Chains A and B, each alone.
Chain A
Amino acid sequence: EVQLVESGGGLVKPGGSLRLSCAASGFAFSTYSMNWVRQAPGKGLEWVSSISSSSSYIYYADSVKGRFTISRDNAKNSLYLQMNSLRAEDTAVYYCGSKAAIDYWGQGTLVTVSS
């Protein structure tokens, strides 16, 4: 069974940092691109970042470029999102998802940026 489990969310002050993790199991993690997608409360989906299977290609939304860093560890079947200089508008549920057309999604982890 495919599982994606996010962790690392929580309450952080503006300007602070958080590191999200996504643990993958049940599929050949190292062969697929991975994504982070977020959803602010009551809003639509927003693509955040993608990373290719070997980390050769990395892309970011303009809204997070320069502040967020995506990475992966294929030996640990894990995906990460380092989030720095957090703003109130980064408050959202963050999902990890597999492949370009995202066929598997985690349950999401809530990040709240507030003083």
Chain B
Amino acid sequence: EIVLTQSPGTLSLSPGERGTLSCRASQSVTSNYLAWYQQKPGQAPRLLIYGASSRATGIPDRFSGSGSGTDFTLTITRLEPEDFAVYYCQQYGSSPYTFGQGTKLEIK
């Protein structure tokens, strides 16, 4: 089983700042099948990034994904008030398709 470890657990930033979230895998993610999701309280998650770096439909270009192998990053440039939420990474390259434990992005 691939274990995904997200860091930091909580990230406190101000609107307009840049946010960098990390997802580290315990072994290489097959074909870089790594996704990022955003979840707000009381809502279902929303797909942001798939294939490590491809933005999902309708996702603003301030969200970008990078990385390969075992180290992946979600970058949010110029944080907007609506970006404060919990973010999860997920690998879907090999079963079980595990999620990271999440990073909470909170307003400083």
Binding site for B on A (CB under 8 A): 35, 37, 44-47, 50, 59-62, 95, 100-103, 105-108
* A41 CB to nearest B CB, Å: 12
Nearest A residue to B101, CB-CB: A44
* A24 CB to nearest B CB, Å: 14
Q: How many A-B residue pairs have CB under 8 A?
A: 59
* Given A44-B88, A59-B95, A62-B1; A103-B56 close (CB under 8 Å): yes
* Given A102-B45, A103-B47, A105-B44; A47-B96 close (CB under 8 Å): yes
Q: How far is the CA of A105 from the CA of B51 in the complex (A)?
A: 18
Residues of A within 8 A of B75 (CB): none
Inter-chain contact A101/B47, CB cutoff 8 Å: yes
Inter-chain contact A103/B45, CB cutoff 8 Å: no
Binding site for A on B (CB under 8 A): 1, 33, 35, 37, 39, 44-47, 50-51, 56-57, 86, 88, 90, 92, 95-102
Inter-chain contact A101/B88, CB cutoff 8 Å: no
* B6 CB to nearest A CB, Å: 9
Pick the residue among A35, A45, A105, A108 that contacts B88 (CB under 8 A).
A45
Nearest A residue to B36, CB-CB: A101
Q: Which 5 A-B pairs have the closest CB atoms?
A: A101-B50, A59-B95, A105-B44, A101-B35, A100-B92
Nearest A residue to B99, CB-CB: A45
Inter-chain contact A101/B57, CB cutoff 8 Å: no
Inter-chain contact A108/B96, CB cutoff 8 Å: no
Inter-chain contact B44/A108, CB cutoff 8 Å: yes
Q: In the complex, which of the residues A46, A102, A108 has the most CB atoms of chain B within 10 Å of its own CB atom?
A: A102
